[in-house]
Chains A and B, each alone.
Chain A
Amino acid sequence: MTRNTLVALVAAGFALAAAGCNPFLTGEGLTDDPNNPTTATREALFMGVQANTFGQQESGIALTTCMWMQQCTGGGGRFVEQFGKYVIDETSHSGDFNSVYTGGGLIDIRKIEASAGAAGDAVFLGIAQIYEALVVGSAADYWGDLPYTQALTAAAPTLDNQFAVYDSVQALLSRAIVNLGGAGPGPGARDLVFGGAPAAWIEVAHTMKARYYLHTVEAAGAGLITGRTAAQVYADAVAQATLGISAPANDFAAFHGASTSERNVWFQFSQTTFGTDLVAGKRLVDIMNARTDPRRPQYFGKNALGAYGGDDVNAPQPANTVSAVDGTRNSPTFRQPFVTYAENELILAEAYNRGTPAVDAQALIHLNNERTTVPLAALVGVTGAALFDSIMVEKYVALFQNPEVWSDYRRTCRPILTPFAGASPVFGGKIPGRLYYGSNERNTNPINIPAPSTQLATNGFRNRNDPNPCP
């Protein structure tokens, strides 16, 4: 009996183990994550790409450049004000850098493109290519040289020259325009911007081409791009913008719902503890006050005195004179504009004004086209440098909250801004001309991504397309 019990006990134990050995370690829910899917359709990924892109365009970089451009001013002494005073480091925009490539960014856009291409859905492919162009083009604006040719294919990708990135973006947009003219059901209602309408996307692609041409025009003028003159670039910009966004109704603007994480990111930010740290910038409000700009109640709230006023990073203003960033735009469902009719008209205006030969009459027409939509009274008889100034100042006002303002400033030094006087001497007394590469990228790709101090010491912390010594 004793021996039998022993045998039974031992046998039971080992039988339990032996019988269960492999399934016990590899059964359902053990080796494959039971919590998340491992496949995704292009329709589902496209939703993620749109959300990510809207987030990128409305997020930390837009907030930072709004302050650097003195359209906004930081207060509160915390990270917002610090960013506004150029206190940034390589971690500050590391997440933004990553999101160019990671989930919702390039990795998913490429999957959509591959899937749409394989399915023969040219419209879907074309729309995805426009998202890729916006994401990569914006990244080139912020960081200059960028991993692109080797993106997603190399453990330590090399950087493409910024001009090569812009060239790639132009080529991509050209292909997108062709594809959008092709066949396919497209994303349909899942396209939150235009409901899948190819015609509107074709206009957006042309305006974007014009935008990125302009981003190289100063460099071309300075002889930095082989075989390209400024005149050619302006002509290209005019050619593209002429086919660009034809009406404000066709603006490429975000779509937002009222649910917690579908809301406009600027609005979400205004609801957080840091929201009150961002107020109106005096430089912008002064310009708008001077012309009684009807967009003031869209952009800002009234100050305690019932008027509009902004704060100045170099000369703090009394609290009761400062407006909050709290106009009709500050709504959960506000469709943040990214590429617009206004920008298109002002690109035309600038290109006509600055092109060779200059056609100021055309420039004025396009400036006034934009002013009419505001509405602002048409300008008459303005020409030359004064007209250029009017165009750029109007663009500065019209593109509020859009990082494109920072690109324009770096190209044209308009409007005149006084950099923050107390900034770290590492910036050489200027408004920072680019962002630090992300800390994650430098950590994993130190061969190609230089240290922050080296980035500062290279070309005065400015990108290749930025030869102008704007303060």
Chain B
Amino acid sequence: MRISFSRLVLFAIALALTPSRSPAQGPLTLSGRVTTEGGVPIGYAEVVIPTLGLGATTRDDGRYAIVIPGARAAAGNTIAVVARRLGYKPVTAQITLAPGIVEHDFVLAPNPLQLGEVVITGAGTVTEAQKLGSVRNTVDSTVVRNSNESNIVQALAGKAPNVEVTQQSGDPGASSFIRIRGTRTISGSGQPLFVVDGVPLDNSSFSTSNFNLNDDLGAGQTDGTVHENRASDLNPNDIESVEILKGAAAGAIYGARAGQGVILITTKSGRAGPTRFSWRSSLSVDDINHKYPLQTIYGEGISGAAPDTTRGGDCDNPSSGSICSRSWGPALVPGSPVFDHANEAYEAGHVVENDLTISGGNDRTTFYLSAGQYHNNGIFVGDNDAYSRVSVRVRGSQRLADNLKVGANFSFADTRGSFIQRGNNVNGIQLSLLRSPPNFNNLPYLDPTYGLHRTYRFQHPGPGDLVADRGFDNPFFIINEQQNRSKVGRMFGNINAEYVASTWLRVNYTLGADYSNDERLEGCPISSSDVCFAGRVIEGKLVNYQVDHSLTATVNYHVNDNLGGTVTLGQNLNARNFRQLGNVGRTLITSQPFKVSNTVSRDIPSDAQTVVHNAGYFAQATLDLYGQVYLTGALRNDGSSTFGRQNRRSWFPKASLAWTFTKVTGERPWLTFGKYRLAYGEAGQEPQPYLTSTNFLSNTIVSGISQGTGETPTQNGFGGLVQGTVKGADALRPERTKEFETGFDIGLFRDKSDLSVTYYNARTEDVILLTPVSAAGTGFTLQASNSATFRNRGLEMTLNVRPLQRQDYGWDVGFQWARNRSLVMSLGGANYVTIGDFQPNVAMVGQELGVLRSLGFYRCGLSAAGVVPAFDAACAGAPNGALFIDASGFPVADPDPRVIANPNPRWTGSVRSSFRFRKLQFSGFIDIRHGGQIWNGTKGALWSYGTHQETASRGTVRTFGQGGWYDGPVVGPGAGTAVPIGQNWYRDGDAPCPFTLIDEPCIEDGGFVKLRELSVTYTLDAPWVQRSIGVSSIDIRVSGRNLHTWTKYTGYDPETSLGGAIAPVTGIDYFNNPQTRSFVFSFTLNR
């Protein structure tokens, strides 16, 4: 046995940190190394002595040391020692203690199916992986950390089949939308329930613009800035593992809150053993991942004519209309200056991240301390797009008595964001940047003569033009002069107790709280455009407070070796209180500060409170038969203040079966393990609060023409009210998903491969819709009711292959594939229900959820006869869907809306591979979305503005149906006629969908193949590292994030979501901010 220097140091640390409980007898030490079969050290493995309640965790070099106080065991005792690590089969060794140091090394075999590992199944219940009757999807800390995402939700992108994650945009702090096995609700945001260490975590999103009812007409999330989803306050570095409960069968234990799935997050905790220190620093350089295609050939103007852009000319009169707003002017003279609007607003962004973790403990006490600091300065020039998070977590436990352990787990996060407005918004950057004519220099953004804000539509503001409308803001004015802030203080934590009353009874109690205070500011300065013209300030405050109490008692029973199991009884009380207060002030008194008190007038304040209480009881029983058949049954009863009076409580059952059939068939070389799974469960989604009330409103804006116009009922100092447009529902029940799931997990070829296949069929009934009602018949437009039925069916597969595993090198590949098909089976009356808030995405009977129902062109078989001359005759015998071309050579817009796009992907998948050579590891991760259409409204608008690259070919003669131009069958008197395509089509014709509402020309395939991660890691753990630096190992990692996207989509990125984590639909792009790619350098010091 070789005793190295490092081992001595370790020993010394262990001695120093372990309280000596019995100085009379000298301590014994157990030490050694945990490695894979290939000899690769396994860090973070647990080595425990169950009978003594002692243990330690291995360092990155696989070393562990356990100091056994003399009072607990003596030399000569033989004790069982277990080594385990997620992903490896645990090994138990019988070790005879001897004075001094006993060395024992463990070699762990991979455990691809996590057999024997304890799985958290929610609400205080646990089981072993092989007993689970539903599919398991776990994401561990390494995967979370290697994603280099600051938002835990985004870190889950592509990590489990049918877990779709879409980031709103590449802005620092932008929210991510997560959808598990398709959308099952359309009330609320449709996000899964997040539970951290047994306590629900608020993951809400709120757009600051929603405080501004006046200018936004309720469409706040499609303009203003991106918003955060509150789960992003979690420091991903604190996360030990994430379990994704995908279906109702897995989530039923959470009853009325599990309809969209449950994300169970476990944070890291300290373990007995020497104190570990870990310092991780990373630096990331980000840039825009795709440049917008803009033309640089034609200048400002209309119909080939240029405006007079001298002082006092056409472009100094904001009402001059199109000639200054468009780029349909003459071809630019070769050599004349052209400005790169696609690139000019961007610079390299960067992320600096530092995390310090200290953890350890002894047999009675454990602790975990972490501090994290994250700062992201985004890719827009300047420092006004930034996001930072400082977080601290303290977690500890103390064994008060041999059978009573108490613990506490608290974290604090200070999150600050600074954003750039975007979206459907003249004060947003993309709209003005991408519409800028190529021959207009956006710099300087202040006119040098009078120092006022200049824009391409108002080029020379004079001394009296401080508050005149600019048309669109100058993009650099937006970047530099606006202030859009969010400042969040978040406290989240719990206290818990575990009481082992007897060998067969365990009682757990958790009391958790989640508090956040979010202060928002949106300030646009004087001389902004449109409704912001004299300056506008939005100040708002969101307070979210949640208290959760849960008590569970678990009984273990063991009749004989062939019959045993558990019974768990539990109770959960939950109270959520959400408060919002917002004020909009208009017309700044002086230019600074952006405070409502510094404004001349104020809108009606936005002031609302929601309180929701839940009380649930549950019971779960498991039955293990013959060590191969595992049955689980559970029942939850939930009451909620949101349910109607007649339906105050609801039942949610589940049952599952897992059968290890290889116990019967026997293991074969090619089939080492096989398990069949079958599960059924019901889970719900509670109604939004207060849908049962019919109210009168004082702040509804009635009868405006466009954004920024409308009247309140209060006029001339007399208070007014109007009937709200939503009729109160008499009785609401929770939505209920009944899901059947079956599949198998098999280990193949001596664990060189494993395969998991799952089929599910989920029927969601009683879906609550704000169902349209006849305004003429009722005086209301909407009423909530449990009216719809949706179905989601799908297939999920995971295949992992480990073809090479040797001491010096290894290679593994993982594949995931999933498809989900949704179907709207009934809507309880209405033909369709609009679920988008910007575009007419609908739920429509017989269609997939979220399809776009809008206007297209006259097509044979799809459009009504008898309206357009020649259409009926032309379609006789023509193929279905043939495009009708009228005598002018152009198609004709169909006045009847129809389904024209489906934003849901056909399938999603991913490929992950890593290759290890000695201490060097290469890994890569590809994320695939096949199909799923996007409404590219940005393109439609830029066609109209003449800045889109495709408008550079203006005047080209094309024939509909030929040569890549609306290919497909065409009919009609103009079929085959070549027509010029230029301003007549892109601006004045049917092409510019955001303005014509004819959306067919803007539909694009949003499928992609994305290189999400590519990394090289090198571990330095040679003895000199410790000698010279004093740490046990250093990991150096160079990686790339979102390095490349292969897609047909022509916008910034097919991963885009204008509404972010608020809207239950995706596939809408309208001047959303771009995505980023990153190059990340990180190093981790471990001791």
- Structural contact, A79 and B706, CB atoms closer than 8 A: yes
A426 to B864, CA, bound (A): 11
* A451 pairs with B719, CB closer than 8 A: no
**Which residues 761-812 in B have Cβ within 8 Å of A in the complex?**
772-781
Give every chain B residue within 8 A of A297 (Cβ-Cβ): none
Is A154 a contact of B471 with CB atoms below 8 Å? no
Q: Which of A53-61, A343-351, A408-416 contacts B (4 or more CB under 8 A)?
A: A53-61
Structural contact, A155 and B711, CB atoms closer than 8 A = no
| Nearest CB on A from B423, distance (A) | 13
Docked complex: A86-120 residues within 8 A CB-CB of B:
87, 89-92, 95-108, 111
B698-731 vs A, Cβ < 8 Å mask (1 yes, 0 no): 1011111111111111111011111111000000
Q: Which of B697, B723, B776, B886 has the most CB of A within 10 A?
A: B776
In the complex, are the beta carbons of B775 and A101 less than 8 A apart? Answer: yes
| Contacts A6-B507, A271-B530, A319-B307; A79 near B995 (Cβ below 8 A) | yes
Distance in angstroms between the alpha carbons of A74 and B324 in the assembled complex: 15
On whether A97 and B832 interact (CB within 8 A), knowing A31-B692, A48-B720, A102-B781, the answer reads no
Contacts A273-B530, A322-B321 given; indicate if A98 touches B705 (C-beta within 8 A).
Answer: no
Q: Which residue of A lies closest to B316 (CB)?
A: A304
B648 to chain A, nearest CB (A): 6
Decide yes or no whether A379 CB sits under 8 A from chain B: no
- Give a binary string over A129-168; 1 marks a CB under 8 Å from any B CB, 0 the rest: 0000000000000000011001111111100000000000
Bound CA–CA A44/B945 (angstroms): 46
Instruction: Answer whether A76 and B322 are a contact pair too, CB < 8 Å, given A13-B509, A39-B696, A108-B723.
Output: yes
Extra A-B contacts (5), CB below 8 Å, given A39-B696, A102-B780, A426-B868: A37-B696, A45-B720, A48-B722, A272-B707, A456-B867
Contact partner of A35 (CB less than 8 A), chosen from B604, B608, B772, B886, is B608
Q: Which residues of B contact A106 (CB under 8 A)?
A: 779
Task: Give every chain B residue within 8 A of A108 (Cβ-Cβ).
Answer: 722-723
- Give the segment of B108-116, B893-901, B1045-1053, B1075-1083 that binds chain A: B893-901
- Across-interface contacts of A373 in B (CB, < 8 A): none
B510-540 CB contact bits vs A (8 Å, 1 = yes)?
A: 0000000000000000000111010000000
B682-702 contacts to A, CB under 8 A, are: 689-690, 692-698, 700-702
Q: Does A389 contact B (CB under 8 A)?
A: no
- Known interface pairs A40-B696, A147-B776, A261-B603. Does A273 touch B713 (Cβ–Cβ under 8 Å)? no
A446 with B831: in contact, given A79-B995, A155-B777 (CB under 8 Å)?
yes
Residues on B lying within 8 angstroms of A by beta carbon are: 214, 303, 307, 314, 317-326, 403-404, 426, 469, 471-472, 497, 499, 501, 505, 507, 509, 529-531, 533, 549, 551, 553, 571, 573, 586, 601, 603-604, 607-609, 611-615, 617, 639-641, 645, 648, 689-690, 692-698, 700-716, 718-725, 772-781, 829-832, 840, 855, 863-864, 866-869, 886, 892-897, 944-945, 987-988, 992, 994-998
Measured between alpha carbons, how far is A26 from B317 in the docked complex, in Å? 60
Check A13–B571 contact: CB distance below 8 A.
yes
22 A–B contacts, CB within 8 A, in A order: A6-B507, A9-B509, A20-B573, A30-B613, A47-B714, A77-B326, A78-B994, A89-B895, A102-B780, A103-B725, A107-B779, A152-B777, A157-B774, A269-B709, A272-B707, A311-B321, A425-B868, A425-B886, A426-B895, A444-B775, A445-B776, A445-B777
CA–CA, A25 to B256, complex, Å? 14
A257 to B323, CA, bound (A): 35
Distance to closest chain B CB from A314 (angstroms): 12
- What residues on B are CB-neighbors of A153 within 8 Å? 777
CA distance in complex: A111, B718 (Å): 18
With A262-B712, A443-B830 already in contact, the answer to whether A77 and B944 are too (CB < 8 A) is yes
Q: Is the CB of B716 within 8 A of A255?
A: yes
- Which B residues lie within 8 Å of A147 (CB)? 774, 776-777
Q: Interface size for chain A: under 10, 10 to 19, 20 to 34, or 35 or more residues?
A: 35 or more
CB distance from B415 to the nearest CB of A (A): 27
A452/B705 in contact, CB under 8 A: no
Contact A150 B777, CB 8 Å, known A52-B702, A98-B725, A272-B530: yes
6 A-B pairs closest in CB distance:
A55-B703, A47-B720, A107-B779, A48-B713, A453-B864, A103-B722
Kindly state whether residue A226 has any CB partner on chain B within 8 Å.
Answer: no
- Tell me which of A27, A33, A104 contacts B695 (CB under 8 A): A33
Chain A, interface SS category: helix
Q: Complex formed: what's the CA distance from A45 to B723 in Å?
A: 8
Report the bound CA distance from A9 to B404 in whole Å: 12
A10 in contact with B553 (CB, 8 Å): yes
For B530, B689, B704, B774, which residue has the most chain A Cβ atoms within 10 angstroms? Answer: B774
A368-402 CB mask vs B (1 if < 8 Å, else 0) is: 00000000000000000000000000000000000
Q: Tell me the complex Cα distance, A274–B693, Å.
A: 36
**Inter-subunit contact B607/A35 (CB<8 Å):** yes
Question: A107 and B551 in contact (CB under 8 A), knowing A55-B710, A326-B319?
Answer: no
- Nearest CB of chain B from residue A244's CB, rounded to whole Å: 26
The answer to whether B997 and A82 touch across the interface, beta carbons within 8 angstroms, is: yes
Q: Which residues of A contact B617 (CB under 8 A)?
A: 17
The segment from A173-181, A198-206, A275-283 found at the interface with B is: A275-283
- In the complex, A265 Cα to B781 Cα: how many Å? 23
In this complex, what residue of A is CB-closest to B497? A9
Minimal beta-carbon separation of B883 from chain A (angstroms): 15
**Contact partner, B776, options A39, A75, A319, A441, Cβ 8 Å:** A441
> Contact at B693–A33, with CB atoms within 8 Å?
yes
Q: Does any Cβ of B come within 8 Å of A438's Cβ?
A: yes
Are the C-beta atoms of B586 and A272 separated by less than 8 Å?
A: no
Q: CB distance A102 to B775 under 8 Å?
A: yes
From A38, A48, A107, A322, B693 is in contact (CB under 8 Å) with A38
Contact A55–B639 (Cβ < 8 Å): no
Contacts of B507 in A (CB 8 A): 6, 9-10
Q: Is the CB of B317 within 8 A of A157?
A: no
Which residues of the partner chain A approach B713 to less than 8 Å between Cβ atoms?
44, 47-48, 51-52, 104
Given contacts A445-B774, A445-B776, contact A59 B703 (CB under 8 A): yes
Q: How far is the CB of A20 from chain B (nearest CB, A)?
A: 7
A262 touches B529 (CB 8 A): no
Bound Cα distance A311, B302 (Å): 15
Q: Given the known inter-chain contacts A51-B713, A101-B776, please indicate yes or no for A453 contacting B723, CB distance below 8 A.
A: no
If A91-B840, A104-B722, A261-B710 touch, whether A99 touches B703 (CB-CB below 8 Å) is: yes
**A268-B708 CB under 8 A given contacts A91-B997, A443-B830, A444-B773:** yes
Closest A residue by C-beta to B692: A31
- Which one of A2, A96, A152, A192 lies within 8 Å of B403 (CB-CB)? A2
Distance between B114 CB and nearest chain A CB, rounded to angstroms: 32
On whether the beta carbons of A319 and B988 are closer than 8 Å, the reply is no
